[in-house]
Amino acid sequence: MKLSTFEHQGLERVGIIIGENKLADATLGYAAYLHSRGEKKALKLAEVLVPPSMLEIIEGGESSFKALEEAAQALKLKPQMRGPRGEQIVYSLDEVKLKAPVPRPGKILAVAINNKPGFERAIKPPGELHPVYFIKPSTSVTGPYDPIEIPDIGVVGTEIEVGVIIGKKGKNIPVEKANEYVFGYTVHNDITGHEMRDKQEWIISVRPGGEQVRLTYSGRYKCFDTFAPMGPWLVTRDEIGDIENRKMVARIKGEACQIGSTSDMVFKFPYLISYMSGAHTLEPGDIISGGTVAPAPGWVMAKIDLRRLGGVLESEVEGIGTLKNPIKPI
């Protein structure tokens, strides 16, 4: 299934994508299914099993997922059906506002330098190789078609990524069981203030013996509001199948500035889930973003200046979807 969070008439709901340009209200769709089977408390039961909140649906586990599947199947057979009280269920995408699939995830864990060419060039610490990652706040999340607001902080660029959405709570998860903790996948662009990182967001610590160590933290240059556009929906684990060879393209003003594939990832999602769960309890709705891909020929990552270029940033992952975020200097 493809699932979305959408807003209609000021209310936030969960949608099941049906067809090319339509979605169905998941709660009302399940209520209609129950009503057709003679359930007298269809709406109340639907609000428990398929609540109008993506996070609550994920937390609902197998029961909620099964209910979603039943609603999706019923809508497939009868796409024009209405709710138990005659409510509209199906909308065209231009009737609603799509939001990030999980509008406020508990935490976003984003991997740095996880593509093979970049990782091979990097100077790494001694010992066993491991991912390096950082945490983005949920307030940086914005919708798939919302503007990316860029202050005058120098070069701010694109980092198209795939985000895996965690489906259940876990700690110290074995690699071989990691996929059991996946609810689905979405597109994420890890917008990055390259110039701010290089010129401002560091400090050199001087030890008592005079040794100098340069320290860099990503608390600001990756974490401004709107610096984590996501969507346009999530694709559930069972539908997407193999995530390991999906084409990834970022375009600005229609021109490709990043091209790659999930096959370029050094550390794959099962390992990332296992490794990160060794330090952090993973919870439903958490997102692990797998790292970006190389620039397209003729482009240099640290010089893709979105604020100067303007236009619309498109972030496309094969089998998931495309973000289309206008660039808005502020």
For every residue of 54-110, DSSP letters joined together read HHHHHHTHHHHHHHHHHHHHHHHH-TT---TTS---EEEGGGSEEE-SSSS-S-EEE
Write out the H or E segment, with its range, that includes residue 258: strand 255-261
Q: Which two tokens stand for residue 172?
A: 């110290």
Residues pairing with 166 in the sheet = 182
Alpha carbon of residue 305 to chain centroid: 23
For the record, the structure tokens of 166 come out as 């965690």
> CA torsion 16→19→21→26, rounded to 10°?
-20
Q: Which residues of 89-101 are buried (b: 16+ CB within 10 A; e: fewer)?
A: bbbebeebebbbb
| Phi (first) and psi of residue 64, to 5 degrees | -70, -40
Pairing assessment for the beta strands 141-142 and 228-236 based on DSSP bridges? parallel
Per-residue pLDDT of the chain in tens (330 residues, 90 and over written 9): 999 999 999 999 999 999 889 999 999 999 999 998 998 899 999 999 999 999 999 999 999 999 999 999 999 888 888 988 889 999 999 999 999 999 999 999 999 999 998 898 988 888 889 999 999 999 999 999 999 999 999 999 999 999 999 999 999 999 999 999 999 999 999 999 999 999 999 999 999 999 999 998 899 999 999 999 999 999 999 999 889 899 999 999 999 999 999 999 999 999 999 999 999 999 999 999 999 999 999 999 988 999 999 999 999 999 999 999 999 999
Cα Rg, the chain, nearest whole Å: 21
Amino acid identity at 87: E
Task: Show Cβ contacts of residue 274 under 8 Å, excluding neighbours closer than 6 positions.
Answer: 173, 174, 175, 178
Q: What are phi and psi of 318, to 5 degrees?
A: -55, 130
CA angle 119, 221, 272 (to 5 degrees): 40
Which domains, from first to last, does the chain contain?
Answer: 2-99 (2.30.30.230), 108-329 (3.90.850.10)
The pLDDT value given to residue 46: 95
* Distance, CA of 195 to CA of 207 (rounded, Å): 27
- Give every CB contact of residue 5 below 8 A, 6+ residues apart in sequence: 12, 13, 14, 15, 54, 98, 99, 100, 101, 102, 103
Is residue 29 within 8 A of residue 23, CB to CB? The reply is no
Strand partners, 282: 170
Predicted TM-score (pTM) of this structure: 0.94
Cis amide bond preceding 125, omega within 30: no
